[in-house]
Amino acid sequence: MLSPAQVADTYFLESRHQLLEIAAYFDRYEAAVARAGDRNGHAAAADRKLAVIREALAIIATDKPAQERTISLLELFATV
């Protein structure tokens, strides 16, 4: 089994990569909205998906979760 420091080190770059992809997903969405020029016309369903991702990020950032973060996220994604 890995030590806490080993876990932090081993998966840091991979987590960094995954977070950058999420950041790019939000940027990509906003760029698409700007190109379309009509946020209210076609954004509602997509915004719901983005809201769930934001909620998921908040769960990930929780210091003392009530249950494993992975379980909370799977429950959350089941609502989309």
- Measured CA to CA, the distance from residue 76 to residue 78 in angstroms comes to 5
Residue in this structure with the two tokens 């990930």, named with its chain if needed: 60
CB 28 to other proteins: min, Å: 5
Q: Is 36 in the site for other proteins (CB under 8 A)?
A: no
H-run or E-run covering 72 = helix 69-77
Residue 74 in tokens: 């799977």
Q: Is 20 in the site for other proteins (CB under 8 A)?
A: yes
The full DSSP string for 30-47 is HHHHHHHT-HHHH-HHHH
- 18/62 with CB nearer other proteins: 18
Q: Is 28 in the site for other proteins (CB under 8 A)?
A: yes
- 32/58 with CB nearer other proteins: 32
Q: Is 13 in the site for other proteins (CB under 8 A)?
A: yes
Applying CB under 8 A, which residues contact other proteins?
13-14, 17, 20-21, 24, 27-28, 31
